[in-house]
Amino acid sequence: MKNIQRTLILGCSLVALAGCGADEIVSPGTSGDIIINNPPPSPTPTPTPTPTQSLVTPAAGCPTIASANGLTDTGTLSGPTGTYRVCQLPARFDRPDLLPFVRGLIYQIGGRVDVGFDRGFTPAAANVAPLPSSLTIEPGVILFATADSFLVVNRGNMIASNGTADRPIIWTSRDNIIGLANDNSQQQWGGVVMLGNAPISDCSNNVFNTVAAPTNNPTCEGRLEGAAVATPFGGANAASNSGSFRFNQIRFSGFELAPNNELQSLTTGGVGSGTVIENLQSFNSSDDGVEFFGGGFNVRNLAVIGASDDSLDVDTGALVNVDTMIAVQRSSTGDRLIELDSPNVSNTTPSTAIPQTRLQVNNFTFLARDAAPQVVQARGGAALGLTNGVFNAGTNHCFQIDEAPTLAAIIGVDSVVGDCPAVDPIRGGGGNTNADVATRINGGTNNNFAFAITLTNGVVNGAGETGRTAFNANTRSTFFPTRTFIGAIQNAAALTSTFGNWTCNSATQNFSSTNGACTSLPVFS
């Protein structure tokens, strides 16, 4: 399907013949004048008025779904793109269910909405209660929420939120629907939480920092912090499948569940390698853009725009590969672009946390606009690998690596460039000296941290970036393709083909997306 083309006829063309009185034409062979009288000019037509009807009219009602209590019709909601039928989700999807796309209809997340019940550390057979649930969301669906509302995919259940390149699924706030959100709005609802049965290393069922934790604990579970209802995650199944999340925008999220415990656009806990996350945009999250607690999976095409805390936060034993990532800060807010942690047992001996947090990012472009402490910080014995990247660091230090186990765990930093400050561009902490860390980071291939940035449109490679030699990241992980360029975006055409249609545009980063501004809504047929 194609997007609705909205063409308003604002005027009309007018052709009028103006007379100049009688025309005098002398006929050959005569001495008289032939008089031709022109007809009077046509009257000026009345201009066609500008249409005043809404672009979207409300659907007739809410569709029938399978879960108990169904959808609740709460009336209509109007904004700049029209008037929508509002169908509020049930508090729990208790069986396999579908949210279809219906023009003129939006779905409301009211309070906490659960997909299924927690099915335990080791889920029972599919025919044993509680039965597994799944939620499928069709391309083009818009879901919105207010205040403390959020959606949780509980352990042992699945979500299939799969948009398409020209019909993304949009998770947003009520203010966005009614036209009150702007390019600095944030913290208007909670976010999306995906939980699974993959191993984690920070155990809520242990006393942290005792001998028993966070070492190799075969029954380690975590808890979704700040949630009023106990919400566990983690298990022993590294291949745990929490579903698929493709072509999604999550806007204006990050509500605080409890002091110092906020949700991100997307929060995962114990999500395993059977889960697919691709083509995800986080826009103006008031906390991290995305945060991954434990588990292990791959992410491709991640855009984090305008996060108020870290753009990418990975910890508690998460094993994550990210291929092709853009992170752009607003000028007024933001912390690190990457924060990487693993439960820290000792500053002097290798971390005994199992699994050890491990993050690799390939083909990335980071634009730091706020005065954050550093672009990347790693600590707690976590393992960091960076390949084919660009830091537009501004005044920020490019790296801080805390503690000897973290320095020893570095996988490698190769073909990474940045305009890092001249004084201490690479720093140590927790017992590491600046010189020790700089020696380790600079030991990678083809790095330059006194690089002259030539990016255009914030994230598109210029001549300087194009001239760099790429590292074959496929040798680090088969998830990473072999590419010949550094940075996330090789050229302007690649920005459109990789991110251009399914994202939204803002003053922070313009993707030239056909789906329009983040402060508005696309209108799908």
- In tens, the pLDDT along 293-318 reads 999 999 999 999 999 999 999 999 99
Range in 61-70, 248-257, 339-348, 483-492 the model is least confident about: 339-348
DSSP string for 151-220: EEE-TT-EEEEE-BTTB-EEEEEHHHHHT---TT---SS--EEEE-SS--SS-TTS-TTSTTSSSS-TT-
The number of residues making up the chain comes to 525
What does the mean pLDDT of the chain come to?
Answer: 87
Q: Could you give phi then psi for residue 435, rounded to 5 degrees?
A: -65, -40
pLDDT at 215: 57
Q: Are 428 and 437 in contact (CB under 8 A)?
A: yes
Position 341 scores a pLDDT of 93
Tokens coding 227:
């949630």
CA quadruple 453, 455, 457, 458: dihedral, nearest 10: -50
pLDDT, mean of residues 423-452: 96
Does residue 191 carry a pLDDT above 60?
yes
Report the candidate in 249, 231, 238 with the shortest Cα–Cα distance to residue 275: 238
**pLDDT of 257-299, one tens digit each?**
777 777 999 999 999 999 999 999 999 999 999 999 999 999 9
Burial of 134 from C-beta contacts in 10 A (0-12 / 13-18 / 19+):
middle
Contacts of residue 93, Cβ cutoff 8 Å, sequence gap at least 6: 67, 113, 114, 115, 116, 133, 134, 135
pLDDT at 69 over 70: yes
304 φ/ψ angles, rounded to the nearest 5 degrees: -115, 110
Task: Please return the burial class of 246, using the count of CB atoms within 10 Å of its CB with bins 0-12, 13-18 and 19+.
Answer: buried
Q: What is the pLDDT of residues 128-155, one digit of tens each?
A: 999 999 999 999 999 999 988 999 999 9
Q: What is the per-residue pLDDT for 52?
A: 41
